[in-house]
Amino acid sequence: MIEQFDAIVVGAGMSGNAAAYTLASQGLKVLQL
């Protein structure tokens, strides 16, 4: 099964989490590594 994401965020620090949260709250499908 292939999944598609609108954005990939590399990093789970403060900046990575903030970026992933901001993108997801705007309706994008986000993968965080």
Sequence ranges of the domains in the chain: 1-33
Residue whose C-alpha is closest to residue 32's, from 1, 22, 2 = 22
DSSP single-letter state for residue 27: T
Average pLDDT (13-33) is: 97
User: What number of other Cβ atoms are within 10 A of residue 25's Cβ?
Assistant: 9
For 2-15, what is each residue's pLDDT tens digit? 999 999 999 999 99
This prediction's pTM: 0.83
Q: If DSSP codes are grouped into helix, strand and coil, which group holds residue 19?
A: helix
DSSP single-letter state for residue 17: H
Residue 20 has pLDDT above 90, yes or no: yes
